[in-house]
Amino acid sequence: RDRLELDLLERLLPSDCPVLGICRGAQIINVHLGGSLYSDIYTTFEHIRKRRTVLPRKTVDVVEGSYLHELLGVTWCQVNSLHHQAIDRTGDTIDIVARDRNGLVQGIESRAYRFLVGVQWHPEFLIFNRPQQRLIRALVSAAGERAEQRARAL
């Protein structure tokens, strides 16, 4: 799975294909661009309470002026948490644009690509949450725009 996802990023990023990395996907984006991960946040940060749930129980602060802020339309949101790894050192061109209240990275984006965003939570499980709906709609819209551009180029 790692090899497949890294190969997909290798192929898609140069063509400026919109990419939204969800949970593990955000981690793969970061690793692909040279970053590293904490392999287990619960052993690295003993003060963090285990909170594995699909329910929005974690507060995330989003950097104002970031692309993720523009997409979500909020400076903070409640999200779910299903992971035990987290981004440690960021990869090339990656900016941290959201953190939870424990300081762990929850959102990243790249300065080098038009739509390369990663979130540590699962917006697809938060279907009634308007900011998460906006995030998914933005991905669909960006993909549609890219498809139209490619069709015009043919």
pTM tops 0.85: yes
Catalytic residue selected from 23, 32, 69, 109: 23
Active site residue 69: no
Question: Quick one: pLDDT band at residue 28, thresholds 50, 70, 90?
Answer: very high
Instruction: Indicate the helix (H) or strand (E) that contains 79.
Output: strand 76-81
The backbone region for 120, taken as left when phi is positive above 0, alpha when psi lies in -120 to 50, beta otherwise, is alpha
- For residue 83, pLDDT beyond 90: no
Q: What is the pLDDT of residue 115?
A: 98
Distance CA 21, CA 23 (A): 7
3-state SS class at 107: strand
**What is the number of other CB atoms lying within 10 angstroms of the CB of residue 7?**
11
Tell the CATH superfamily of the 2-10+17-142 domain. Class I glutamine amidotransferase (GATase) domain (3.40.50.880)
Q: Which residue has the tokens 């299903």?
A: 82
Instruction: Indicate the helix (H) or strand (E) that contains 86.
Output: strand 86-87
- For residue 81, pLDDT beyond 90: yes
Active site residue 32: no
The one-letter code for the residue type at 152 is R
Active site residue 124: yes
Q: What are phi and psi of 46, to 5 degrees?
A: -65, -20
Find how far residue 18's CA is from the centre of its chain.
12
Q: Tell me what the mean pLDDT of segment 113-137 comes to.
A: 97
Catalytic residue selected from 10, 70, 124, 148: 124
Distance CA 22, CA 39 (A): 17
